[in-house]
Amino acid sequence: MQEMECSLLRPPNTSATVEADMVRTVSAWRYRAPKHHYGQGMSERHHAVDQATLAVTAGRPPRTPDAPLNTPIVAASTFVAGGDIEYAREGGPTIAAFEELVAQLESVDLPTPAQAVAFSSGMGAADAILDLVPLGGRVIAPTTAYTGVAARLRELGDRGAIELDLVDISDTASVLSAIDQPAALLWLESPTNPLLERADLDAVLSAARTRGLRSVVDNTFATPILQRPLNSGADVVMHSATKALSGHSDLLMGALVTSDADLAESLRGRRTLLGATPSAFDAYLATRGIRTLPLRIERGQQTAALLAERLAAEPSISRVRHFGTMLTIEFGKDAQRADRVCNATRIWVHATSLGGVESSLERRRRWPLEAAHVPDDLVRLSVGIEAPEDLWRDLHEALQAT
Ligand code: PLP
């Protein structure tokens, strides 16, 4: 499909009445919330503060007397005509606060803040990017991408909407050679879900940039706390905000972040037309969740490192992989044992998804869509913020009991 400018979708500004203008002047933050109002002060001090500070301060309403500290949940499907946002499919003030926050975290090291576009799920965000690929355009993607994205790419490939070229993203030479042929999009996920494979982002993204090839990095597993692909030259960073960003397993959301203003506009246009706009309530919860992201990642990462070390010493575990707050373990090809362990824990929750405050685990191949190259006995663990020794004891007891 052709790229369509979002601005084409918008009506020309209508003139407001004097009365309406007075209302706006008195309570500007309440009725009119142009995107730039949120986090405006912090944008100016972009370089001066640490990412941990931005996590708390970005995306707040301006500090005017009586203003709330937190961006309110603006529950409105439509807005009084004449402003930046007319209809909630285009976004809204609560969503704009989330976008400001995510953009600041991903671009903390860049000279100017990036822009983020929020979606109703990670898959909605992925689809917006894929929708910008011209019909039949070649897309280079990981052989081991997240199963939902992989399925969508296959579907588009099978129906001829894209030409799909799968590469092992941990093999830099293969990626570089794939990039040498003309392509419309380089899709990276690093680390991958669930195999935790990593691309050499500096090498492949700078090569893509040199060739004028648009690149996307799914940064869901690393989060902007552990990795910021815009620094390495990515055009777009993608998130399933359902996971660690929001961090409480209580919503579905996605986000795209880019420093390219035209691309951000195109992605907003995709969101408006495809209809994958999040609700104000979810955006509020996600913003609230991100306030503690640095602390949650720090804690989860420390615990995951401790568990990785102890699990590697377990005789019945044949392989341990580890990145950030994520682990995978294998049980010497014994998938039934893997299932028994998942069902035997009492603190770890046997559930899909990841990145919540609660630790969870699951055998990935229980999902029919999961790729055949993921070992049948592989259990993915997402480490939360519970006491590390409680998590270890629970896991150890489950291992001994099964
Ligand atoms: N990308 C990765 C790495 C994921 O793990 C997921 C979901 O598990 C997605 C994208 C899709 O996100 P969502 O479930 O929010 O649509």
At 279-335, the pLDDT tens digits run 999 999 999 999 999 999 999 999 999 999 999 999 999 999 999 999 999 999 999
144 CA to centre of ligand 1 in angstroms = 13
Q: Specify the residue with its C-alpha closest to ligand 1, atom 11.
A: 122
Q: What is the pLDDT of residue 47?
A: 53
155 CA to centre of ligand 1 in angstroms = 17
Residue 25 has pLDDT above 50, yes or no: no
Distance CA 259, CA 204 (A): 18
Q: Which domains does the chain have, with CATH numbers?
A: 6-291 (3.40.640.10), 294-401 (3.90.1150.10)
126 CA to centre of ligand 1 in angstroms = 9
Q: Are 175 and 205 in contact (CB under 8 A)?
A: no
Q: Specify the residue with its C-alpha closest to ligand 1, atom 15.
A: 122
* CA pseudo-torsion sign 327, 378, 375, 155: negative
Residue 41 has pLDDT above 70, yes or no: no
Q: Are 190 and 199 in contact (CB under 8 A)?
A: yes
299 CA to centre of ligand 1 in angstroms = 22
Closest atom of ligand 1 to CA, residue 253: 15
Q: Are 248 and 285 in contact (CB under 8 A)?
A: yes
Q: Give me the mean pLDDT over the 29-43 stretch.
A: 40
256 CA to centre of ligand 1 in angstroms = 13
Q: How sure is the predictor about 210, in pLDDT bands with cuts at 50, 70 and 90? A: very high
Instruction: Give residue ranges with CB within 6 A of ligand 1.
Output: 121-123, 146, 148-149, 189, 193, 218, 220, 240, 242, 252, 254
Closest atom of ligand 1 to CA, residue 252: 15
Instruction: Quickly count: other Cβ atoms within 10 Å of residue 386's Cβ.
Output: 17
123 CA to centre of ligand 1 in angstroms = 6
Q: Specify the residue with its C-alpha closest to ligand 1, atom 14.
A: 122
> What percentage of the chain reaches a pLDDT higher than 70?
88
- Which one has a higher pLDDT value, 363 or 31? 363
Q: What is the pLDDT of residue 48?
A: 78
Closest atom of ligand 1 to CA, residue 352: 8
Closest to 35 in 3D by CA, of 112, 117, 141, 110: 117
Mutating to test ligand 1, I would choose from 121, 243, 382 the residue with most ligand atoms within 8 A of its C-beta, which is: 243
Q: What is the pLDDT of residue 100?
A: 98
Instruction: Quickly count: other Cβ atoms within 10 Å of residue 127's Cβ.
Output: 19
303 CA to centre of ligand 1 in angstroms = 23
83-87, 170-174, 234-238, 378-382, range with the lowest pLDDT: 83-87
Q: What is the pLDDT of residue 181?
A: 97
Strand boundaries in 32-172, DSSP class E = 115-119, 137-142, 162-167
Residue 33 has pLDDT above 50, yes or no: no
Tokens of 17: 């009445």
Mutating to test ligand 1, I would choose from 242, 253, 370 the residue with most ligand atoms within 8 A of its C-beta, which is: 242
Q: Give me the mean pLDDT over the 236-262 stretch.
A: 98
The CA angle 223-224-228, to the nearest 5 degrees, is: 115
80 CA to centre of ligand 1 in angstroms = 35
The CA angle 73-78-84, to the nearest 5 degrees, is: 85
> For the chain, what is the mean pLDDT?
91
Closest to 127 in 3D by CA, of 153, 162, 105, 146: 153
Q: Give me the mean pLDDT over the 121-136 stretch.
A: 98
Q: What is the pLDDT of residue 84?
A: 87
Backbone dihedral angles phi then psi of residue 31, each to the nearest 5 degrees: -100, -30
Q: Which residue has the tokens 């195109």?
A: 266
Mutating to test ligand 1, I would choose from 146, 217, 271 the residue with most ligand atoms within 8 A of its C-beta, which is: 146
Closest atom of ligand 1 to CA, residue 124: 16
Residue 76 DSSP SS3: coil
